[in-house]
Structure 1
Amino acid sequence: MKAVSLRRYLLLGILGPVVALIAVNGIGLYGTALRALNTAYDRTLLASAKEIGEQLDVEGYDRDARLRATVPYAALDTYESDNATKMFYRVSSLHGELVSGFGDLPFWRGEIPARPPYAALVDFYDDRFRGADVRVAVLLQPVASQRGLGMAVVQVAETLELRRAAARRILFDTLWRQALLVAVIALVVVFVVQRATRPVRGLSAQLRDRPEGDLTPIEAAGAPRELAPLVDATNAVMARLDQLLEHQKRFVRDAAHQLRTPLAVLKAQVQSAQRGDVPPAEAMAEIHATVDRATLLANQMLSLAKVEQLRQQSSAEVHDFADVVRSVAVDVSPLVAERDLDFELDAQPAPVRAHEWMLAELARNLLHNAVRHGPRGGRLAVRLVADGRWCALTVSDEGPGISAALRERLFQPFATADVRSGSGLGLAICREIVAALGGSIELTNRESGGHVAGLDATARLPLAQ
């Protein structure tokens, strides 16, 4: 579906209910106007009926009373407001016998209300007469004379053209004012939306006109407070993108730089083997060692890139770090056996919310470093303890330790104490992992009798709550 503009959304959201309310109000207004006009014009009908009743005569009493009427139709002309309105009357006895007027006007068969609207025995009702809608007033008029006493039923009917025309005028006079109000509301909405969205258009233009690759924060000091969360979120996303792009650039730069050396060495070794400078077995051994170093370097660089990728993901499950450490220890056991190390493992349960690969990579790199730098036949201890909030994985070897100057530099990519023993990425990967998980890592020389007895590598991670 095509996105609806804010201006159209507000116009539909505001004017839709307003127009619907005006329509309902118009229907109610028309009915109210008709009722008010009926009340006003019913007085005219009642006055007509009374005037006719005053011109009646009677002879006899009760059932023997005979009514006479001398009512010319011109007597109703004063009550006809225009040529379109017609009035009709009928004078009858209580039994429906026609005395005067229009004989085809249906005789009244209703009842006088218990509380008539006027001080008279009168009833009003709607009917049809000669194909037109009419309003009828019925008056029970006592008639008295020197010769008799009786009761007459006087009916006066009026067509409804005048009433309906007046109601329509009232309705139209109200509707055009309300239409003008709707137009004013629409103009105000358009104006307000235009003014309110000006900062948004300004931000859009600022982003559109930026040079390619510019991820600096958006300057929106004059933006409304409602736009502040959007600006802050956009700046946060741009900061993460900038960090990710910088990491990718650094990765590509480091990969090109670090892989160039082993590939050049490999090429030289292959050329030397082709010329026969060294025996074939020795040449193959050198090539094999160079390929192993290049493979290790490539795998560690991919691991370093994967840490940054997983850092951007927020969905991670809880894993027992102790189970991960035991699994890694089983994988590393051939290396431990090859160097004849006295291996010791003590791991307490430690639930950590992290990707399982990150925990395994952290433990694997620490163990590989300890196996590589520890003396053959020495002692290698792995301890994992938890104190309720943090867990600490400590890998202890009996190597020569490290100097204070080298301690911090070893966590930088491609920094190593011996270029022949590694690529210098293992501890850098560990640092990136613990930083992504909100922990810390440190290297500490273990002393005994005033001499360095080995190195302790400790990684601290927060426990899952």
Structure 2
Amino acid sequence: MPPTDGSAGPLEGGFSLRHRLLLGLCLPVAIFMLVDAWASYHAALGTAQRAFDRLLVTSAHALADMIHLEQGQLQISLPHAALELYDSDHGGERQQDQGTRSRMIYRVSYLDGAYLAGDSALEPYRGVAAVHPRYGARLALYDTLQGTEPLRIAALWQPVETEDGLRYVVVQVGEPSAYRDRIAQGILWQTLGRQALLLVVLLVLVWAAITVALRPLRVFARGLEARPATHLDPLVVVPQTPRELLPLVNAFNRLLGLAGRAQALQQRFVADASHQLRTPLAVLQLQAHAGLCGDVPAHEALQQVAATTRRTSRVVQQLLTWNRARADVSAGQIETVDLVALAEEVAVELSPLISARHQDFQFDPAPCRWTGPAWMVREILVNLLHNALHYTPEGGALGIRMAVEPGSVALTVQDDGPGIAEPLLQNLYVPFVGGDPHHQGTGLGLAICHEMAQACGGRLEVENRLHAGRVAGLNATLRLPANA
């Protein structure tokens, strides 16, 4: 169920940071362990194979040493201990570790394959054997099948003395490959068991490490949840705060700063609006009541209501403009603007008011361009020119003069009004004070212009224009940086 207070409900992330870290850390390690297990298995298997092959070769040499000439025939005499290892009719078996059995078979043949001794079912080796580099004898090691049973065979060429002279016989000693396979499987499972145990231990340790590492993040989240909605002070960075959290803390502090500023602006706007609108609304109520009761003629009452409405509308417009300027010093698009065209646009906009008062408008342009928030410059000129035509008497003169100065651009709005008394100049930019206590105004116009001029990187200068030692009017100059 969504919350009823307008706030967003708890968010459900698309992935778990804990799981992603665990996977990112343990998956490569698991792959490495599998590769290491495979390499260890094959290394151990190779060592075991060489050991078993050496046993076969040793057995072949032992059998070869038992071959002798007796009554003109080659004979082989096996002691009873050897009969337990070798059995020509497959009946012998050798007991190994924990019930594992392995029987070895042998065959002695002439080079042409003629049977001499041993297991006659074993196929004679008819290949050619070279001197083996490891054992230094004419030897061949190979795999074969006896029926369906795979065997590993060592075939040794052994010279023996006969009545006809030196003659070679082939001594074959074999062992079932199944025994080696069982040994290899044992090595594999032992290796995988060790690696699996290591992986489980690693998972537990990494999980614990990630839990400890993410604890400051949980503390940070709980701290944010516990903060009241009105508590917009910056987050305090304690020494225990991880460096990786600092960008997040800084981002939150910037967000809190913006929220605090927005809240302050909202409160200030509400206070300003209530301050400025209370009186006009009360006046409107009284004027409407007077017209309804007949105390004032209806036409006159409507004129009063219309005048009060215009002033109230002007106040609201100034309040909104002022709040916008305070909310964002770079509100609107930053653009390069032709100040001459902008000043002409403002003059055309206010020309009906100027004509209605039969005032003479003078425009002295100086071609220049400026980069910045154009809407602010326009609002400043509208406010200054509106004040000028308001204070200039009917039939008087007012205008805009532009000048390009070293490092700045000056736009001066001048009028033939009464000017401002010197004691009031120091409070000229204070809101709701104004420069003429006897004139009905809000005192917001110049305060707005002053703040927006500063936001544009410039300044507003207001001074009386003197002629023959007397005040001949007012000059309000907006100075903007030339390279803004």
TM band (smaller chain): 0.7 to 0.9
Per-residue displacement from partner, 1:411-430 (whole Å, max 9, x unpaired)? 33333234745333323333
Residue equivalent to 2:102:
85
Give TM-score scaled by structure 2 length.
0.81
Following the alignment from structure 2 to structure 1, what is the Cα–Cα distance between the partners of residues 325 and 171? Answer: 102
2:260 to 224, 242, 267: 242
Aligned to 1:48: 59
Alignment partner of 1:122 is 2:164: no
**Within the alignment, does 1:75 sit opposite 2:82 as a pair?**
yes
| CA displacement at 1:153 relative to structure 2 | 3.0
Question: Matches of residues 202-217 of structure 1 in structure 2 within 5 Å?
Answer: 202-217=219-234
Partner SS, residue 156 of structure 2: strand
Shifted more, 266-275 versus 126-135: the winner is 126-135
Q: Residue 279 of structure 1 corresponds to which residue in structure 2?
A: 297
Identity fraction in percent: 38
Q: State the distance in 2 between where 1:393 and 1:115 align.
A: 105
Residues 1:90 and 1:359: Cα distance change in structure 2 (over 3 Å): farther
Q: Could you tell me how far 1:104 is from its partner in structure 2?
A: 4.4
Cα 1:71–1:455 shift into 2, 3 Å: farther
* Displacement after TM superposition at 1:98 (Å): 4.2
AA aligned to 2:381 is A
Distance 1:407 1:57 in 2: 136
Residue 254 of structure 1, CA deviation: 1.8
Partner of 2:90: none
Give secondary structure in 2 for the equivalent of 1:117.
coil
Contact 1:318 / 1:464 at 8 angstroms: preserved in 2? no
| Alpha-carbon offset, residue 105 of structure 1 | 3.7
1:131 to 148, 158, 171: 148
Q: Deviations over 1:287-334 (max 9, x none)?
A: 211111112222222223333454486x83423142433322322222
Secondary structure class of the residue paired with 1:138:
strand
- Of the three residues 45, 48, 57, the one matched with 1:37 is 48
How far apart are residue 404 of structure 1 and its match? 5.2
The residue matched to 1:197 in structure 2 has which SS? helix
Deviations 1:387-441, CA, capped at 9 Å, x for gaps: 56x5443333343333455335333333323474533332333334334444433
Q: Structure 2 residue aligned with 1:427, among 446, 449, 460?
A: 446
- Within the candidate set 437, 443, 463, 1:444 is matched to 463
**Equivalent in the alignment of 1:410:** 428
Corresponding residue SS for 1:383: strand
Aligned AA (1:53): A
- Which residue in 1 is equivalent to 2:272? 254
- Whole-angstrom distance in 2 between the partners of 1:437 and 1:252: 25
Given that 2:154 and 2:173 are in contact with CA atoms closer than 8 Å, whether structure 1 keeps it comes out as: yes
Matched, 1:400 2:418: yes
Q: Is the 8 A contact 1:352 1:461 kept in 2?
A: no
Q: Tell me, yes or no, if the aligned pair for 1:121 and 1:140 is still in contact at 8 Å.
A: yes
**Could you say if the C-alpha distance between residues 448 and 172 of structure 1 is closer, same or farther in structure 2, counting changes exceeding 3 Å?**
farther
Code of the aligned partner of 2:18: R
Question: What's the counterpart of residue 314 of structure 2?
Answer: 296
The range that moved more, 96-105 or 21-30, is 96-105
Q: Distance in 1 between the 2:381 and 2:75 partners?
A: 121
The answer to whether the Cα contact below 8 Å between 1:381 and 1:397 also exists between their aligned partners in 2 is no
Amino acid in the other structure paired with 1:253: A
1:260-285 CA-to-partner distances (Å, cap 9, x unmatched) read 22222112212222233333332222
Say whether 1:199 aligns with 2:233: no
Match of 1:459 in 2: 478
SS in 2 for 1:433: helix
Structure 1 window deviating more from structure 2 (89-98 vs 270-279): it is 89-98
Determine if the alignment matches structure 1 residue 229 to structure 2 residue 247. Answer: yes
The residue aligned with 1:63 is: none
Change (3 A) 1:367 1:139: farther
Contact persistence 1:30–1:168 (CA under 8 A) = no
SS of the equivalent of 1:401 reads coil
Structure 2 stretches lacking a partner, 5+ long: 1-11, 87-93
Asked if structure 2 preserves the Cα contact closer than 8 Å seen for 1:398 and 1:453, the reply is yes
CA contact (8 A) 1:398 1:454 kept: yes
Matching residue of 1:62: none
Q: Deviations over 1:426-458 (max 9, x none)?
A: 233333433444443332334444444433333
**Is the counterpart of residue 318 in structure 1 residue 335 in structure 2?**
yes
The partner residue of 1:26 within 24, 37, 40 is: 37
Q: CA deviation at 1:14?
A: 1.3
8 Å contact from structure 2 (residues 398, 413) kept in 1: no
The amino acid that maps onto 2:343 is V
Instruction: Tell me which residue corresponds to 2:161.
Output: 144
SS in 2 for 1:156: strand
- Aligned letter for 1:32? A
- Change over 3 Å in CA distance of 1:185–1:428 after alignment to 2: farther
SS in structure 1 at match of 2:142: strand
The Cα shift of 1:43 comes to 0.5
The aligned counterpart of 2:176 is 159
Q: Which residue is 2:20 aligned to?
A: 9
Partner of 2:237: 220
Name the stretch that deviates more: 97-106 or 242-251: 97-106
Q: Which of 393, 397, 400 pairs up with 1:378? A: 397
Counterparts of 2:16 and 2:342 in 1: how far apart (Å)? 53
| 1:364 matches 2:382 | yes
CA–CA separation in structure 2 for the residues paired with 1:141 and 1:387: 112
CA distance in 2, matches of 1:414, 1:219: 38
Residue 177 and residue 444 in structure 1: after superposition, are their counterparts in 2 closer, same or farther (change >3 A)? Answer: farther
Q: Sort the Cα spacing of 1:255 and 1:316 in 2 relative to 1 into closer, same or farther, 3 A.
A: same
CA separation in 2, counterparts of 1:247 and 1:19? 57
Calculate the aligned-residue CA RMSD, in Å.
Answer: 3.4
Q: What amino acid is the match of 1:153?
A: V
Whether the aligned pair in 1 keeps the contact of 2:74 and 2:162 (CA below 8 Å) is no
Looking at both structures, which has the greater relative contact order when contacts are Cα pairs under 8 Å and sequence separation is at least 6?
1
- Unpaired runs of 5+ residues, structure 1, are 60-65
